[in-house]
Structure 1
Amino acid sequence: MFGLASDSKYILDAISKSQAIIEFDLKGNILTANENFCNALGYRLNEIVGKHHSMFCEPAYTATPEYRAFWARLGRGEYDTGAYKRLAKGNREIWIQASYNPVSKGGKPFKVVKFAADITAAKKQAVEDSGKLEAISRSQAVIEFTPKGDILTANENFCQAMGYSLAEIAGKHHSIFCDPAYTRTEDYSSFWRRLANGEFIANEFVRFGKGGREIWIQAAYNPIVDADGKVYKVVKFATDVTQRMSAISLLGGALRQLSEGDLTRTVDTPFVPSMEQLRQDFNTAVTGLAETMKTIGENASAIAAGSSEIGGSADSFSKRTEQQAASIEETAAALEEITTTVNDSSRRADEAGRLVAVTKQGAEQSGVVVRNAVAAMDQIEQSSREITNIIGVIDDIAFQTNLLALNAGVEAARAGEAGKGFAVVAQEVRELAQRSAKAAKEIKALINTSSNLVKNGVGLVGQTGKALEEIVTQVGDINGNVVAIVEASKEQATGLKEINQAVNTLDQATQQNAAMVEESTAASHNLAKEAETLRTLLARFRLPSQARTQAQQPAGRLDARQPGSPALHLVSRVAKAHGATAAAAQSWEEF
C-alpha cells in the first residue's frame, strides 16, 4: 500500500501495530490512516479521509504563519519531529510524540507520513510536575548540589535569603553556609554521606548568610537518582524560618522566666504575622495570669482571715451547740415531767367527772323525792280542805242542834212541869251542841292553821324542787365541763407525748449537728492551714507592682455565754399550775 519493497512492507506492518500512522499529501490533505490513529483521535477513517490536517489543530494555531511555514518545510522535504498538541473528536485535547516524514520519489517529495504515539497522560503529568516545581520555586528557596556538596545552581529565592548572587556561590561547597566548627565534625561528613547514599533528610537547620548573618531554614535535602538508581545530584527545598525561630526563642525565654515565677515578662517585639497572634495571646495570658495571681494572693489573705474568723465562729458555735444540746436534754426531761403531771391531772379529772356524775344522779333522785313530797302535800292540803268542809257540816249540825235544843227548851217551858225533864235534856243537848260547835270551831281553826302550814310547806317544797332542778342543770353543766376537761387533758397528754418525741428527735439532730460542727471546725482550721500554704506558694511569683487591698480583719469571736435553760422555767410553771412542790425545780437545777 505504501509502494515499498516487500521487506519494507513487513517493517511498516510491524510499526503500524504499535504506532499511530497517517499519510498526507504535500498540502496537508489526509490520504489514509491506520486503526491506531483513528482510535487515538476518536474518528472513523471515512470521517477524516480528504479532510485537511488542520481539523486536528486549534483554529488560532492554523491561522498563524508558523502553521503555514510548518507545511512549507514538509513540502520541501524537511522532516519535523516533536511533541504536539492536537484536538481529537469532540475537541478533546491530546498530546502526541510524532515525526512528520516527507516521502520522495525520484528525489521529489510527493506525500508525508506521520508516525505518532499518544503521550497525553505523560504530557499532563509532566505539565503538572513542572507546574508544581515552578510553584515550589516561586515560594521556596531551591538549591542543587552534587553528591559531594558542591553547588550547581540556586533560584532567586535562595540567593535573596542568603544574601549572595548565583555567581558568588556556584561551584562553591555547601560548607560556606555553615559554622566552620560544625563543618569539621563527623556529623557534617555523615550528613553528606547519607545524602550520597540516597537518604532523604529534612529538619530545621541553622545556616549563615553573607556577612555571617544567622539564618534558620526549614529544609528538605532530596537525593535525585538517574536511570541506574545512582544519586547524581541533591536538590534542597528550603523555607526561611528565621523570624519564626527568633519568635520561638523570645517566647521560650519568656516561658522560662514564667516557669521561674516571673509574671512581669512580656514579649514586646512583634512576631511574623503567622505567629503574632501567639505573641499577643502569650502577653494576654501572662497579664491575665498576673492579675489572677494577684487576685488569688489577695483572696488567699482574705481566705486566711475568713478561715480564722470561721474557725473562731465555729468554736463558738460548737460551744453553743453543746449548750443547746444540754438545754434540749433538760427540755426533754421537763416535758417528760409535764407529761406525767398532765396524765395525773387527766386521771383526777376522770375521778371528778365520775363524782359529778354521781352527784347529778343523787340530785335527780332528790328532785324526784321532792316532787313526790309536793304531791303528798297537795293531797294533805286537799284532805284538809275536805276536813274543813266536814267540820263546816258539823258546825252547821251543832248550830241546828243548838237551835233545836233552844226550840225544845221553849216548848218544854210551855209544857210546864211536864216538860221539865225534856227541858233538862234539851239544855244538855244545847250545851253539847255548843261544845260541839266550839270544838268544831277549834278544829276548823287548827285545820286552817294546818292548811296554811301545808301551803307554806308546799311552797317551800316547790322551791326546793326548783332549786334541785337548777342544781341538776348546773351539775350537768359541770359534768360537761369536767368531760371537756378530761378530753382536753387526754389531748394535752397526747400532744405532749408527740412534743416529747419531737424534742427527742431534735435532741438527736442537735447531737448530729454538734458532731458536724466539730468536723466543720476541724475543716476551718485545715482551710486556714491551706490558705497559709497557698500564700507561701504565691510568694514564689514575682508580680507587677500594684496596690493591694487589705485583707479583712477577722471578726471578733461570738459571745459563748450559756443561755438560761427554758426547761427550768417550764418545770416551775407546770409545778405551780398542778400544785407541785419546788423540789422538782431544785432537782432540775442539780441536773
Structure 2
Amino acid sequence: MMQTTNTLSSQVLERSAVLRALEHSLAMIEFDVTGEVLWVNDIFAKAMGYSAQEMIGLKHKQFCPPHIAEHSSYQMFWERLKEGQVFQEKVQRTTKNGNSLWLEATYTPVRNEEGHVVGVVKVATDITERENTMKQVVDDLKEMSAKLTERAEVGIQHSQRVNVSFDHIANETDQNMSLLKGLKEQVESISSIATTINSISSQTQLLALNAAIEAAHAGSYGNGFSVVAAEIRKLATDSKEAIVKVDQYVKAIHAEVEKVSSGTNRAKTTVFTNRDLVKQTNEEFINIGEAARNLDKQAQNLAEIV
C-alpha cells in the first residue's frame, strides 16, 4: 500500500514539474467560457505588451483584429470551444500598442468533474518574426514576378515592333528583287538589240564595200553612187563603234545589277534569319511572362500555406 502511495505521489510531482516547465517556456493564458481572462503567465503578457495583472478581466475579443473579432466565424469559434472541441491553428492578434502578433496557438477546453466545459487554456508560441520573414519572402517573390512580367511584356512589345520592321524590310527586299529582275531583263533586252544592230552594221559595211567596188567598175558613171556608198560605209562604221560602246555600258550595268542582286539576296537571307531570331526571342519573352505568372501563383500558394 505504501509503495502505491509513493508511486502516485511521484506521478503528481512529475506532472507539477512538467506544468511549471511549460509555464516558464510557453505563452499560456486561461479564459472562462465567455472569453474573459482568468489567468495569464508573464511570457504571454509580455508578448501582448501588458503586465500579467493588466490582462486579468479583459476579454479575448479585445486581443483580436477587427476583421477577426467582427466576423461571424468568431462566434462559431467560441461555440465549438464550449462544445469541447480543441482548436489549433496559426492566429493573428493585436498587442496593447496596436502591433500585429502571430501565434501558433492551441485552445484546449477544460471540463469539470461533471464533464462540462468551464474554461479554456491557450498555449501559444510567438511566430511573429517567422511570419514577417515569410511575408517578406512572399512580397519579394510577388515583386520579382511583377517586374519579370513587366519586362517580359516590354520585351514582347519591342520584339513585335522589330518583327513588324523586319516584315516591312522583307517586303521591300522582295519588291527590290522584282525591280532588279525587271532591270536585268531590260538590260538583257538592250544587249540583244545591240547585238542585232551590230550585225546589221556589219552587213551594211559589207554592202557599202560591194557598192564602192561596183561604182569603181562603172567608171565616171558611178561617181555619185560611190559617194553615197562611202557615206553609208562611214555611217555603218560609226554605228558599229557606238554599238560597241553601248554593249560595253550594257555589260557594265549588267555586272552591277548582278552585284546588287547578289547583295540584295544576302540581305534578304539576313533579314529572314534575323526575323526568325526575333520571333524566337518573342517566344522566350512569352515564356518568361508565363514563368512570372507561375511564380506569382506559387507565392500566393506559399502565403496561404504559411
**What TM-score, normalized by structure 2, do the two folds share?**
0.61
For the residue of structure 2 that corresponds to 1:488, the secondary structure is helix
2:26 paired with 1:314: yes
CA deviation after TM superposition for structure 1 residue 353, in Å: 1.1
Q: What is the identity, as a one-letter code, of the residue corresponding to 1:455?
A: E
**Structure 2 residue corresponding to 1:484, chosen from 283, 287, 298:** 287
- For 1:384, the equivalent position in structure 2 comes to 187
CA deviation after TM superposition for structure 1 residue 329, in Å: 1.2
Structural mapping, 1:345-360, within 5 Å: 345-360=148-163
2:270 paired with 1:467: yes
2:305 paired with 1:496: no
**Structure 2 residue corresponding to 1:330, chosen from 130, 133, 136:** 133
For the residue of structure 2 that corresponds to 1:464, the secondary structure is helix
CA deviation after TM superposition for structure 1 residue 337, in Å: 4.0
Q: Deviations over 1:235-266 (max 9, x none)?
A: xxxxxxxxxxxxxxxxxxxxxxxxxxxxxxxx
**Seq. identity, %:** 19
For the residue of structure 2 that corresponds to 1:439, the secondary structure is helix
Structural mapping, 1:440-455, within 5 Å: 440-455=243-258
Structural mapping, 1:240-259, within 5 Å: none
Specify the structure having the higher radius of gyration (Cα).
1
CA deviation after TM superposition for structure 1 residue 485, in Å: 1.9
Instruction: Tell me the distance in 2 between the aligned counterparts of 1:473 and 1:339.
Output: 33
Q: What is the identity, as a one-letter code, of the residue corresponding to 1:292?
A: T
Instruction: Tell me the distance in 2 between the aligned counterparts of 1:323 and 1:459.
Output: 77
CA deviation after TM superposition for structure 1 residue 448, in Å: 1.7
CA contact (8 A) 2:215 2:223 kept: yes
CA deviation after TM superposition for structure 1 residue 397, in Å: 0.8
- For 2:196, the equivalent position in structure 1 comes to 393
For the residue of structure 1 that corresponds to 2:288, the secondary structure is helix
2:78 paired with 1:366: no
Unaligned runs of 5+ in 1: 1-286, 507-591
Count, aligned residues: 214
CA deviation after TM superposition for structure 1 residue 328, in Å: 1.6
CA contact (8 A) 2:141 2:295 kept: no
- For 1:297, the equivalent position in structure 2 comes to 9
Q: Deviations over 1:480-518 (max 9, x none)?
A: 222222222223233323433x26xx4xxxxxxxxxxxx
Instruction: Tell me the distance in 2 between the aligned counterparts of 1:414 and 1:454.
Output: 52
Q: What is the identity, as a one-letter code, of the residue corresponding to 1:338?
A: L
- For 1:123, the equivalent position in structure 2 comes to none
CA deviation after TM superposition for structure 1 residue 443, in Å: 1.1
For the residue of structure 1 that corresponds to 2:148, the secondary structure is helix
Instruction: Tell me the distance in 2 between the aligned counterparts of 1:427 and 1:398.
Output: 14
CA deviation after TM superposition for structure 1 residue 327, in Å: 3.0
Structural mapping, 1:129-144, within 5 Å: none
Instruction: Tell me the distance in 2 between the aligned counterparts of 1:420 and 1:291.
Output: 169
Q: What is the identity, as a one-letter code, of the residue corresponding to 2:9?
A: G
- For 1:422, the equivalent position in structure 2 comes to 225
Instruction: Tell me the distance in 2 between the aligned counterparts of 1:499 and 1:301.
Output: 44
Instruction: Tell me the distance in 2 between the aligned counterparts of 1:292 and 1:431.
Output: 151
Of structures 1 and 2, the one with the larger relative CO (CA 8 A, separation 6+) is 2
Instruction: Tell me the distance in 2 between the aligned counterparts of 1:491 and 1:303.
Output: 51
Q: What is the identity, as a one-letter code, of the residue corresponding to 1:291?
A: Q
Q: Deviations over 1:43-74 (max 9, x none)?
A: xxxxxxxxxxxxxxxxxxxxxxxxxxxxxxxx
CA contact (8 A) 2:148 2:288 kept: no
Instruction: Tell me the distance in 2 between the aligned counterparts of 1:327 and 1:425.
Output: 116
Q: Deviations over 1:417-472 (max 9, x none)?
A: 44344333322322221221121112112212211221222222222222222222
CA contact (8 A) 2:215 2:226 kept: yes
Instruction: Tell me the distance in 2 between the aligned counterparts of 1:498 and 1:303.
Output: 41
Instruction: Tell me the distance in 1 between the aligned counterparts of 2:136 and 2:274.
Output: 44
2:211 paired with 1:408: yes
Higher helix share: 2
Instruction: Tell me the distance in 2 between the aligned counterparts of 1:436 and 1:463.
Output: 40
For the residue of structure 1 that corresponds to 2:26, the secondary structure is helix
In structure 2, do the counterparts of structure 1 residues 329 and 400 end up closer, same or farther at CA, with 3 Å as the change threshold? same
Instruction: Tell me the distance in 1 between the aligned counterparts of 2:199 and 2:135.
Output: 94
**Structure 1 residue corresponding to 2:237, chosen from 434, 448, 456:** 434
Q: Deviations over 1:104-157 (max 9, x none)?
A: xxxxxxxxxxxxxxxxxxxxxxxxxxxxxxxxxxxxxxxxxxxxxxxxxxxxxx
Unaligned runs of 5+ in 2: 28-42, 48-102, 105-124
Q: What is the identity, as a one-letter code, of the residue corresponding to 1:342?
A: S
CA deviation after TM superposition for structure 1 residue 326, in Å: 1.6
Instruction: Tell me the distance in 2 between the aligned counterparts of 1:378 and 1:306.
Output: 99
In structure 2, do the counterparts of structure 1 residues 370 and 425 end up closer, same or farther at CA, with 3 Å as the change threshold? same
Structural mapping, 1:14-413, within 5 Å: 287=1, 290-307=2-19, 309-311=21-23, 313-314=25-26, 324-413=127-216
- For 1:457, the equivalent position in structure 2 comes to 260
**What TM-score, normalized by structure 1, do the two folds share?**
0.33
For the residue of structure 2 that corresponds to 1:331, the secondary structure is helix
Q: What is the identity, as a one-letter code, of the residue corresponding to 1:364?
A: D
- The CA RMSD measured in Å over matched residues stands at 2.8
Q: Deviations over 1:276-307 (max 9, x none)?
A: xxxxxxxxxxx3xx121121233345445544
In structure 2, do the counterparts of structure 1 residues 314 and 407 end up closer, same or farther at CA, with 3 Å as the change threshold? same
Instruction: Tell me the distance in 2 between the aligned counterparts of 1:490 and 1:309.
Output: 48
CA deviation after TM superposition for structure 1 residue 390, in Å: 0.4
Q: Deviations over 1:73-122 (max 9, x none)?
A: xxxxxxxxxxxxxxxxxxxxxxxxxxxxxxxxxxxxxxxxxxxxxxxxxx
CA deviation after TM superposition for structure 1 residue 351, in Å: 2.4
